[in-house]
Structure 1
Amino acid sequence: MEDESCYSSVIFKPFDKEKSKVRQSDEFALYAEVKRKQSSEETSHTETTAKEASTPISPVYRRVSVFLGLLCFLLLAALTAVSIFYYIHMSKHNNILAQYTKERAANLQLLADKEVLEQETARLATQGQQMNSTLDFIIHKSSFSGDKYCQFTGNGARCTSCPQNWIQNGSSCYYFHKGNTWNTWTESQKYCEKYEAQLAIIDSVGEQEFINQHTEFYYDAYHGYWIGLYKKMGLTWVWTNDAQLERGFWSDWPDERYRYYCVLSMPSKNPVRSWRSASCSMKNRWICEMEVLTWPTFLQAQQNHSDPST
């Protein structure tokens, strides 16, 4: 490469004593070719640039560049494919999740409906059993009057477990006669039998306490309420169902010298000491007992626990 040439006009003026005598017209031009010497760094840079321009790219670098470009393309294609697959998968997942939520809600509703049906089935089964029990009770009655148990209104029938004017205690209904007409022991038993009942059979302290709560003093200290206990053949104390007496609630032990073969329950401050024997022909009030009648639930009405009247 040729050296760069720089041209410059230089004017030289003679410096001598006769300088003042020289006219300006005598000035002359001197042309000189001055070559600038390049520095070593510039020379090296220039040579390197020229060398790089003249040096061809290596085939290895070219193959690496192609490989890297192809790799970038494949990575981009893979990323695009993964994105599409993820989108499709998530769409299917969301659809399945929505379907599952819908079916789960439907299943919960079916379970709730099943529980309601099971409760209804149990209720109907209970009513069926109650109706069978009621029917069996009525069939075994020689005379049964629904008017004694049920009241009929515009809203249908409402029935109680005991006849009107009877009081329920546990599984039994009791009638306490409190009128002014009194009967002998036998007449009292016949009165009870008209209701398919019998004179009261007392076999527990709780029942005796209940009896005592619903009896009251009347007339004199010798009158009480006939119960179903009597002395059979003058020998053994038995109940009207032929069961022998196991436990008594006597105020005084019966005097065997007198023919007192029937028993009264007397109003007493001490319920477990309230029985006394009396002549069966004596007229007194009485207590009847019968089995509770269980009606189907839809027919049941609240039992009236007020004291019965004649």
Structure 2
Amino acid sequence: MEENITYATVVIKDGKQPPRAKTEESTVYASVKAKLAATTSTGSGAGAGCSWFRVLMSCSVLLFLILLGSIGLLIHFRLLIGHQQTQISHLEAQVEQLRGLTEQLNWTLNVIMSYEKFPVKMFCQGHRCQPCKDDWIEFHNKCYLFYEEEPPWKTWGESRRYCQEKDADLVAIDSLREQEFISSHTKSYYDTSHGYWMGLQQNSEKQWVWLDGRKDTLGFWAQEDLGTFGQYGLMIPARNATDSWDPAKADMENKLICESVALLKTDDE
């Protein structure tokens, strides 16, 4: 911007300054100073306004960049956390699987340790093993052998020795579910008073106890008189599961049921 400056010519005569000229000079210089001051003031205000605008714009851009960066970091961390949670879920599944395998191995080891001589070939063929030996039936982690041979059948003592020779014992029933399973795998023979020996007997206090020492709490005794009396438990087939037990003498000859623990645990107890 060009500044308009008015210059005055002053003529001095006899060493004295004319009063009029002096007045004009004062007026002119005052006018020049006022214009310069006004121009300087206007230029300074415009410059300050521009500076503040630039600062405001810079701060806005900086805040925008910070916000954009924060959003990016948040998205990155959420993706990272999601990936880690997925990995944790996979690891938890693997740990659970390993826990199941460990439990299975411990179960199998305990079964093997219960044998004096473990019959590997009866359970395993090649690299594959089965829960029970051939001709045995698996049910809820136990194996059952239903003796169905023709007479002569066996007394209670002979039946128990027969099972023990097979690394088992006469069956001890734990629940209605097991009783129903056994009932479904037995059939009538000879007459209605013959059945299958169980590992159930009376103790000296006339209490019915299983061979594993448990007192019987099921009491699935037949309500009618089947013609036999004694201190050993006999299960009569082809009857209601909860109405099929009968006491019999030890020397009576019957079929029998052996029970052992399955080599492989197949379900939860």
Q: By the TM > 0.5 criterion, same fold?
A: yes
Do 1:249 and 1:272's aligned partners in 2 also have CA atoms closer than 8 Å? yes
Between structure 1 and structure 2, the one with the greater Rg is 1
Aligned match for 2:61, one of 54, 67, 87: 87
Shift of 1:173: 2.9
How far residue 88 of structure 1 moved from its aligned partner, in angstroms, is 4.3
Q: Give secondary structure in 2 for the equivalent of 1:227.
A: strand
The alpha-carbon deviation at position 199 of structure 1 amounts to: 0.9
What corresponds to 2:157 in structure 1? 186
The residue that corresponds to 2:81 in the other structure is 107
**Offset of 1:65 from its aligned partner?**
4.7
Match of 2:189 among 218, 224, 228: 218
Q: For residue 283 of structure 1, give the secondary structure of its aligned residue in structure 2.
A: coil
Match of 1:285 among 247, 250, 255: 255
Report 1:144-223 matches (<5 A): 144-152=118-126, 156-160=127-131, 162-180=132-150, 182-223=153-194
SS at match of 1:114: helix
Counterpart-to-counterpart distance in 2, 1:99 and 1:237: 73
How far apart, in 1, do the equivalents of 2:251 and 2:191 lie? Answer: 17
- Report the more deviating stretch, 121-130 or 226-235: 226-235
Give the aligned residue type for 1:282.
M
What SS does the corresponding residue of 1:228 show, helix, strand or coil? Answer: strand
Does residue 1:270 correspond to 2:244, yes or no? no
**1:234, 1:261 within 8 Å by CA — same for their partners in 2?**
no
Q: Structure 1-normalised TM-score?
A: 0.62
Give the direction of change, closer, same or farther, for the CA distance of 1:79–1:246 in structure 2 (3 Å limit).
Answer: closer
> Gaps (5+ residues) in structure 2?
1-29
Aligned 8 A contact 2:130 2:263 in 1: no
Aligned partner letter, 1:188: S
Number of positions where the alignment pairs a residue of Structure 1 with one of Structure 2: 237
Q: Give the equivalent residue in structure 2 for 1:129.
A: 103
Residue aligned with 2:252, SS? coil
Residue 211 of structure 1 aligns to a residue whose secondary structure is helix
Q: Against the structure 1 CA distance between its residues 146 and 250, is the aligned structure 2 distance closer, same or farther, given a 3 Å change threshold?
A: same
For residues 130 and 205 of structure 2, the distance between their equivalents in structure 1, rounded to whole angstroms, comes to 43
Letter matched to residue 240 of structure 1: L
CA distance in 2, matches of 1:72, 1:249: 108
Q: Distance in 2 between matches of 1:286 and 1:126?
A: 35
CA drift of 1:286 comes to 0.8
Task: String of CA shifts for 1:76-134, please: whole Å, max 9, x gaps.
Answer: 12222332343344345434543443344233322322232233223223322332232
**TM-score, reference length from structure 2:** 0.69
What is the rounded CA distance, in whole Å, between the counterparts of 2:138 and 2:251 in structure 1? 29
| CA displacement 1:176-195 (0-9 Å, x = unmatched) | 22333533322221221133
C-alpha RMSD over aligned residues = 3.6
Q: Look up the SS of the partner of 2:159 in the other structure.
A: helix
